[in-house]
Amino acid sequence: MKNIFSLILAGMIGGVTVLGINKISQEETVVNYNQSPRATLASQNSAAAVVLPIDFVRASEYATEVVVHIMAEESLTSARKRQEDSRKSRRSPFDDFFGGDLFGNDFFGQDFFRGNGQKNGSGSGVIFSKDGYIVTNNHVVGFADNILVTLQDGREVKATKIGTDPSTDLAVLKIDVEGNLPTLEFANSDDVKVGEWVLAVGNPFSYLTSTVTAGIISAKGRDLDIISEDKSIEEFLQTDAVVNPGNSGGALVSTEGKLLGINTAIATPTGVYAGYSFAIPSNLVKRVVYDIIENGDIERVNLGVLGYDVDESVVSDYSLNIDYGFYVDSMDKRSIAQLSGMLPGDVIVAVDYKKVEKFEDIVELMKYNKAGDTVNITVKRKKKDKNIKVKLRKGL
């Protein structure tokens, strides 16, 4: 009896052990699809793992609700004035802006705006606030007097242009509609990493409305030199999501459905998508849009100084007692620097009390400043520091 009982007990223990191991094994294969779009399914028979596809459905639903279609048209009065100004200068002021460059970097939709008649074209926009502010590109609406916005639900609303910032190629519109409009939460574009999946949402070729494409962030901080402004700010996010003319002003969206940027340009030899597109990062968008809403059109200005980065040769040639900064050799006539009291021979060593090693530091420290702002410039003059309050002015 003892032997029989021992055998029965051993069998029961063995069975429980097998069941327990089998249950643990099964639990290890269970995937919680709510934890991550990149959930991994472990194989029972292999150490290899299978990465499940990323689900873009929810992000697409969020984004298509806030991306609008924009039709923009120049008035006859504005067209005639532009043509007259063009004849006087023998050149259209828009030639450089819409002409691309040797590398084929173009703003979307530029071909729609060419010609000597009234300019018109289409693009996209993103609802910025529940009360009707919309962000888009300056090259989509900057020329326009008449702007019509079509919402995702089909409503057509006339829009008012609140202001533009040509230096960042951003513009803000306002529509008046009943009820609260949908919006997207802003992502922190500084945190996005190369290789992350993104969606591009817009209205390519005008008639393919609410189109969603997917790609990855392929580079950050691209400066393409395609905004023909002295104070241009280019920090583009580069993606391989398919975009085309008409996508300008549309949304670049994370897989979480947050706004990462405003689609703006493509690198192309043909005028249509050829593999790379560029978006203004959301952190810059947010800063500029709030500024436009508060102040209207933004005009960024330069100091108007000419000179040299301080190095050994400059120190020797001008007998300087400092080995860093920017040596002011001359200034543009009636420039901001000249009118503020800066002199040839001054060495700019700080902007708003932040050290200047070279001219690029001045550009970086002042890139967000605009007409109306006051900047403190510290210069070394005759071996002494001098602080100069510089009031940035328009039209100089």
Catalytic residues: 139, 169, 248
Contact criterion met (CB below 8 Å) for 324 and 354: no
